[in-house]
Structure formats: structure tokens, C-alpha cells
Structure 1
Amino acid sequence: MKKLIMILVAIALVSCSEKSNNPYVTLQGNIANSNMDSIVILGRNFEKYIKVNSDGSFQDTLKVTDGFHGINNGTSQSFLYLKNGYDMTVDFDMNNFPGSIEFQGQGAETNNYLTMKLQFIKDENISNYASFFELEKEPFDAKIADLKKRMDDMLTNAKGLDAEVVKMEKEANDKMIIFFKDNYATEHENLIGLSKGDPSPGFNYPDKNGNNVSLTDLKGKYVYIDVWATWCGPCKREIPYLKEMDEEFKGKDIAFVSLSIDKMEHKEKWLKMIEDEDLKGIQIMADQDWNSDFVTAYKIQGIPRFILLDKEGNIVNSNAPRPSDPGLKEVLKTLEL
């Protein structure tokens, strides 16, 4: 069931069949704090570089396959719903992308709704679906009912949406709720034994220098584990925050462990990223990627995944906050470090 929830969320990322009489999209906008010479629009079998002027403005016409496209500023990506016939303005701040993105013109209502929906998915941590399945049945049912109501209300209250998007979103919302309900019993049972206070499954994997590091070696320290991989974009976005955390708590009784689940044939790529990114903390590599004992013991089906253990190796939180979450520092400050 690896990454199934992301597949459900990504139901939105399909092309729609409805066609427009106008064969082109007109796309323009302004980028505050711009330091680039182009942005990239990506679609199915489609890639278009649009020149960015020295003042941050851009404009072009595109012939697209109606549906979802990526907009990439060179370091981050967001999504656009484009349909031939749209005449749309896209503005954003380079220092806050995609958080600052705004739309105006034909197609703006649809894109503003979808931006709000993606933010909702992030805020509710829906991609980390294990946190839902950890709940007991009554709070789980209440959580899912609340999730459904808020998604349905968001769609109902949105005005001027493209008809294809409305249809697509209704189907996506329904399938997401069905996924949660159908898989609750099995997933909840799988997570029993990984609750707060339970002994954590162990690990014993080689570090970047080839020396094995085990959980037992770290007894007497709190342990914050980052399960990640070099190919994982969301994992890499957490790196600056994790480095900051490591620096802030240096000398304290806490070990920051980054456990890579890259395939063994990509070991050199892993080692190179450690060097290139100057990765801190304890860097270890699991022996069988997704099938490694530690990964399967925690039923990890999506990364990044963060786990916090106490000084005796017991679970404090099997789905701990991410380094980018301000709540993590608050949690760590309550520990006896």
C-alpha cells in the first residue's frame, strides 16, 4: 500500500477531456525577488520555458493538453490547471514559493481553489496517513467525518470552478474517504505495538564511514530518526531544517539519525549527497531499502518519516513532527536533554 494516499491525492493530477474553442493559453505574471531568467511549465509530453524579464515579469502563449501542469521556478514546483482559452495572470514571490502564488483572470477561480486544497492536504498531514490509522475507532471516525465535511464544504463554497474539476474533485474526495475507511482495521492492527512507551524496533546499519551504528549504541540519549532517500523531494526539503536542529541541540543528550532507504546500488549517490549537502548527525544506510527490518517493523509506506525515541529506546512518537514543523522544537524543549 506504499504511497497509496499520494496516489489518491494525485487523482487531481490527470488531464481532462473537455476542449475549448480557443487553441491557446495566455499566461503572464510577475515574480517578486526574482533571480532567474525563466520558469518552466510541465505537462503530459509538454515542457515550455518562459523567459522572465529583468523586472520579474513574464508572458507567453501555450498550446496545452487541458488539465494539470507543473510550474517550476528552478528549486520548487507547484501546480496549475490550464485549459486552452484561459487568459490568466500568475504572481508569486520567489522567497515564498509556492506559498505566495496568486491567480487572476480566466481560470483563476479553479486555480485558487486547487491551491487552497493542496494547502489543506498539507495542513492536515494527509500524506502521513499512519497518523490517522493510529487513532482508536471512535476518534478515527470523527476525524474522517470532519475531513469529508470540510473538503465537501470547500468544494461547495468555491465559485466559478471548471466543471471538469468539480467532477474530478468529488470523485477524489470520495475515493480518499473510502480508502481510509476500507483500510482502517488492517492498518490500525499493524500499528499496535508501535505506541508511545513501547520498545522501539532496533537497527544496526553502516554509517558513511562503513562503521555499524545500532540503536543500542545510542542508549542514554533521545534519538530522532529521519527515514529518507536521496530521490525523495520532500525529504530533501527537510534537510536545512534538520541541520538547523542539529546545530541548535548540539551537546545535548539527543542523537539525530538519518536513515537512508536508498537501494544499495545507489550507495555512491548517497555518499555524494552527504558530502555535497554537508549533512550533519549520524548518517546510516539500511541494508534492503523498503524491505529493511527497521522500515518494515514500523510499517513505513511513505517518506520522509520521523520517529522520536527516549533514552531507553522506547517510543515517544512513531510519527514525530518534521524538522520544518515549529512544533518539533517545542516537543524537544520539554525533554530532559
Structure 2
Amino acid sequence: MKKSTYFLLLFVSISFAQTVAKVSFTAKIENRNSDTLTIFGPKKFKQVIAINQKGLFEATFEITEGIHQFNDGSESSMLYLKDGDALLLSMDAKAFDETIVYKGKGEKENNYLAQKALTDEAFELGLESLLEKEEAVFKAALEMKKTEDLAKLEGSGLYDKFVTTYKPKILQDVTMLQQFYAQKALAKKLEGIASPTFNFENHKGGTTKLENFKGEYVYIDVWATWCGPCRAEIPFLKKVEEKYHGKNIEFVSISVDVDKDHEKWQKFVTEKELGGIQLFADKNWNSDFIKAFGINAIPRFLLIDPTGKVLKADAARPSSVELTKLLDTLLK
């Protein structure tokens, strides 16, 4: 799962059954990203599975029946685990969601989840084209998706408790996608106009203004030290910074950590050897710059052009090939 990982984690934390269950889980993964798999679940459940001499990830363990997720060190996908399940997962990590196949007891529910991830991602990617149309068109498309999702869930002969557990997730996603669309729509309106400005504390001392970068492209990462998805982007950001070193672009990271975590931010930047220009927002989420862009979830990435106008108010992440495609075009 990629763009919907936030939805997945939120749902895992708020909705699950209470039955204690024992399951066996085996995974055969080509082009693996790590030598361990981690399964997360209710009640802070965490099961780390190391690869064995046969090249398989194998384990038997007790869980609380319900929605879980597995992570291969790079990406995540949802699982539904119940007592007696014996799952064999096969996949190619280079084409993560597209290649997930389950066999064994519990396969039906988990293959449903794998396919659902693909259709959800396709819908989210299509939001860009929907932004060019009236809001009513988006609402109609979302209502159709909800209707189709509920019909498929309830008409596929899936385990009754799974259907009951998962149905709120579909309804929750409708709300999430409405918020996601609203964010995208606001971002679209900001593109092409003069960017709001800032004057924030610089980790190296003094303060830095957006105007300091006039004549250069500016790629801005809005993040915080406590944000897991933000930290996950750091290695990719470092690679992008290295790729475009010496080009007409500055990489600026703006922390929205609260004041009490100021020292934590300073240490984090130093210890993790973060590159680019590291800034600390003056009023975290309530900073004028952050509010002007309607930022209510992080990480969030912005791209400002050399004249100070907003080029992308919701730019691609460093981990996305779309970012390097765009920068290659701009900085050729």
C-alpha cells in the first residue's frame, strides 16, 4: 500500500475484534526489501519474522482477531487474521501491491484486501483529473465507489465477521477521501500565484526567509520529528538532494514540532545528518505559512519557482519517481 497507508494505520488503531487467535504465516518474496517482515496489529501487537535458510518468512503466533498490516521495510499491506488461519503469501517486492497473492486458510479475505488496495490507489491517482471538473463530479464518483465497494464486500461470500469489521473502513475512507480532495482542491487554487512567505529559525543560526531563495526553485518538506511517514522520506530526500546538488534548486525542511520539542528537533537534525536547509516553524501548525497552504497532515511537500510563485502546492514525495521526472524537466 502506498498513498493510503495513513488510512490503513488509522483504521488498525480504532477497529478490531477481540478474539484471541493463533495463526501461521509464511511469505515467499522475490526482490525483498529486507530480511525481516513485521506484522502490526491491535493492542500494540508486533511480530517480527526473519527470513530463514529456505528463503522464507515463517512464523506461528497468537494475535487478536481482526485487521492487521505487514510491512516489508518499505511498503505495507493490510491483513485480516483469525483463529486457525494458515496463510502463504507470495509476491515480488518490486511490484508490491500488484503481485500479492495468498493461498491457504484465510486466503479469500486477504486476497480481497490486496485487490482493494489496488482499486483504492487507482481512485486516488485519478483525483488529479477530477480536480479539473466540478466538485459535483467528484462527489458522484466517490458515491459510486462507495456503492461498488459495499456491494463487493457484502456479495463476495467473505467471512461474516470480516465483513462486519471492514465495512466501517469503507465508510471511513469516504470521509478521508473527501478531506483529501478538499486539500488537493485548495492546493490547485494556490498554484501560479505568489507564495506565502516565512521567516523561520535556521538550525545553523539566525533566521531564513523564502525571499532568500529568489532566482532558485525551492522544494519544501513540511515535517516533524514524531512523524513516522516523514522520517521514512528522509533517505529518499537525501538522495534527491545529492542528485540535484549544484543545480538551481534549494531543499528546505520546515519542522512543525511544538516548542517543547525544539531541542529534540535540534538533536535530530544533527544526529541524522539532515541535509538542505533546516528550519523551525515559529508557531508549528499555527504558523501563517503553514495555515496559508491549508496543511493539516504531514509530510507535505511544496515546490516554489524562481519568481516566488507556487509551482506545486502538493508536490510529489521524494520517494516518488514523479518528483525526479519533474525536476529533470525543470533543471535540465
Q: How high is the TM-score relative to the length of structure 1?
A: 0.78
In 2, the alpha carbon distance for the partners of 1:299 and 1:288 equals 14
Is 1:257 the equivalent of 2:255? no
Distance 1:36 1:299, change over 3 A: closer
Distance 1:305 1:37, change over 3 A: closer
In 2, the alpha carbon distance for the partners of 1:131 and 1:180 equals 15
Paired positions, count: 325
Kept in 2, the 8 Å contact 1:194–1:298? The answer is no
How far the C-alpha of 1:201 sits from its partner, in A, is 1.1
- What letter matches 2:208 in structure 1? V
Q: Please show how residues 111-130 of structure 1 align to structure 2 within 5 Å.
A: 111-125=110-124
In 2, the alpha carbon distance for the partners of 1:290 and 1:262 equals 8
Distance 1:188 1:44, change over 3 A: closer
Percent identity at matched positions? Answer: 36
Q: How high is the TM-score relative to the length of structure 2?
A: 0.79
Residue aligning to 1:319: 314
- What letter matches 1:27 in structure 2? F
Residue aligning to 1:69: 68
How far the C-alpha of 1:293 sits from its partner, in A, is 1.9
Residue aligning to 1:299: 294
The farther-off stretch of 209-218 and 274-283 is: 274-283
Kept in 2, the 8 Å contact 1:103–1:112? The answer is yes
In 2, the alpha carbon distance for the partners of 1:162 and 1:16 equals 13
- What letter matches 2:282 in structure 1? D
Residue aligning to 2:227: 232
Residue aligning to 1:279: 274
**Which of 324, 328, 332 is matched with 1:333 structurally?**
328
- What letter matches 2:256 in structure 1? I
Q: Please show how residues 90-169 of structure 1 align to structure 2 within 5 Å.
A: 90-91=89-90, 101-125=100-124, 136-145=134-143, 147-148=145-146, 151-152=149-150, 155=153, 159=156, 161-169=158-166
How far the C-alpha of 1:110 sits from its partner, in A, is 1.2
In 1, the alpha carbon distance for the partners of 2:323 and 2:180 equals 27
Residue aligning to 2:24: 26
- What letter matches 2:289 in structure 1? F
In 2, the alpha carbon distance for the partners of 1:215 and 1:247 equals 22
Root-mean-square deviation (CA, aligned residues, Å) is: 3.9
Structure in which a larger fraction of residues adopt helix: 2
In 2, the alpha carbon distance for the partners of 1:212 and 1:175 equals 41
- What letter matches 1:29 in structure 2? A
In 2, the alpha carbon distance for the partners of 1:54 and 1:297 equals 54
Say which SS state the counterpart of residue 64 (structure 1) adopts.
strand
5+ long unaligned stretches in structure 1: none
- What letter matches 2:10 in structure 1? A
Say which SS state the counterpart of residue 190 (structure 2) adopts.
coil
In 2, the alpha carbon distance for the partners of 1:170 and 1:308 equals 38
How far the C-alpha of 1:150 sits from its partner, in A, is 6.0
In 2, the alpha carbon distance for the partners of 1:325 and 1:184 equals 18
Say which SS state the counterpart of residue 226 (structure 2) adopts.
coil
Distance 1:243 1:142, change over 3 A: farther
In 2, the alpha carbon distance for the partners of 1:88 and 1:291 equals 47
Q: Please show how residues 183-262 of structure 1 align to structure 2 within 5 Å.
A: 187=182, 191=186, 194-262=189-257
Is 1:44 the equivalent of 2:39? no
Kept in 2, the 8 Å contact 1:194–1:315? The answer is no
Kept in 2, the 8 Å contact 1:12–1:169? The answer is no
In 2, the alpha carbon distance for the partners of 1:67 and 1:264 equals 38
In 1, the alpha carbon distance for the partners of 2:191 and 2:326 equals 14
Say which SS state the counterpart of residue 238 (structure 1) adopts.
helix
1:144-193: CA deviations, max 9, x gaps?
A: 24643664576478x45322333344433234335656x699x5899389
How far the C-alpha of 1:309 sits from its partner, in A, is 1.4
Kept in 1, the 8 Å contact 2:303–2:310? The answer is yes
